[in-house]
Amino acid sequence: MTSRTLKLLSPIKVGPLHLAHRVVHAPMTRLRSDADDSPSAMMVEYYRQRSSEGGLLITESAHPSYDSRGYIGAPGIYTDRHVEAWKKVTDAVHANGARIFMQIAHDGRQSHVDLSWGNAPIAPSVVPYETTVFTQNGWVPNSPHRALALDEIPALVESFRQAAVRAKEAGFDGVELHNANGYLADTFLQDGTNRRTDAYGGTLEKRARFPLELVDAFASVWGADRVGVRVSPSGRWGAISDSNPQATFGYFAERLNAYGLAYLHVIEPRVMGTETLVEGEAPVAATFLRNFFDGPIIAAGGFDRDGAEQILQRGDADLVAFGRLFSSNPDLPQRFRHDHPLAHYRREAFWGGDERWYTDFPAFAA
């Protein structure tokens, strides 16, 4: 297939934004923020390198409060200094003619007391599980979490609203709610982690309430057509589970449909968080959610150029986000256009480190 005929490289409108192609930079936490959680100069350069004329980038997850981080080195969006530092990112991206959404996340139970002044991580309910989190002392086992009290929830939603305000001040083109990969919003939605019996748990409607309150908060700041939502139906990262993911995510997508969102961003279950592709698995999640959501769908997880083109041609997604391949190919859309070879990513540099295998991957040179 010649690049001229690739749907992947054809224009599309997302909310009010006209994009020149459908190759999206997937959110990737790289743990290279400054000590005050501001995006570092290295990060400005990283996003600048990956911004192509008319393309869309989504940032690594940024946190609405000091104690919402699950990893030290992940950036914040809760102080005026963060706003100033993120402006350098958005300016660099806009100077190249690209667009950028900020992903906003509370990491919930995937955290540690050392990241929040000794306070236990929070979750909808206490459902013990084991993982490792990155703290001042390196990778350590996560801390036991506690269940949120009902009267704590409004302040939490307000922290997301304020983050959305700050993202706007920082010059982003929109915001994405991280409702995937077992972080806080996802743990409310899925019944393996939400055992509440109050207004935020039990029925599907009640489990969807917290994520939808966050969407409402974002939409109140940005208008819904500049808000995206990311989901990972059947994802297992963070030991998340649901007894009936089809019912849960079908219902959630249908509720989201009513907003007129910029997009729904769907991670295929064949990719387990940041792990490699489960061999032989086909993308199914975007196909399924297409039945419930009328707006643009971004598919993510294990795509290469041909796989992306196939899902777009089938009409099951409208854009495709690339994570690992974008990490090592700053000019990914151009490489797809010319069918140039791709550089392999370096997992050992994913989380933390310096410029090595972060900003030193060159653009393709013939």
- Residues involved in catalysis: 183
What are 192's two structure tokens?
């393996």
Judged by CB under 6 A, the number of residues near ligand FMN is: 23
Nearest to ligand FMN of 259, 303 (CB atom)? 303
CB 41 to ligand FMN: min, Å: 20
> Side chain identity at 272, as an amino acid letter?
M
Task: State both tokens at 279.
Answer: 């061999």
Return the number of the residue (180 or 319) whose C-beta is nearest ligand FMN: 180
Could you say which of 89, 122, 189, 300 contacts ligand FMN (CB under 6 A)? 300
Structure tokens that stand for 234 in this block: 């059947």
How many other C-beta atoms are found inside a 10 Å radius of the C-beta of residue 40? 17
Binding of ligand FMN by 230 (CB under 6 A) = yes
Query: Which residues, listed in sequence order, are joined to residue 58 by a DSSP beta bridge?
Result: 101
Q: Which one among 8, 26, 219, 298 touches ligand FMN, defined by CB under 6 A?
A: 26
Residue 166 tokens, joined: 């700050």
Taking a C-beta distance cutoff of 8 angstroms, is the pair 103, 176 a contact?
Answer: yes
Which residue stretch of 20-28, 87-95, 146-154, 165-173 sits at the interface with ligand FMN (rule: CB under 6 A)? 20-28
Q: Does 267 bind ligand FMN (CB under 6 A)?
A: yes
> Among 6, 14, 27, 249, which residue interacts with ligand FMN (rule: CB under 6 A)?
27
**Identity of residue 119:** N
- 233 is a site residue for ligand FMN (CB under 6 A): no
Q: How many CA atoms lie within 13 A of 62 on its CB side?
A: 32
The answer to whether 225 and 149 are in contact (CB under 8 A) is no
Neighbours of 265 (CB within 10 A): 31
Find the shortest distance in angstroms from Cβ 59 to ligand FMN: 8
Nearer residue to ligand FMN within complex by CB, 196 or 270: 270
Task: Please report whether residue 134 would count as binding ligand FMN according to CB under 6 A.
Answer: no
| Selected binder of ligand FMN within 75, 323, 330, 333 (CB under 6 A) | 323
Q: Decide the pairing of beta strands 138-141 and 132-135.
A: antiparallel
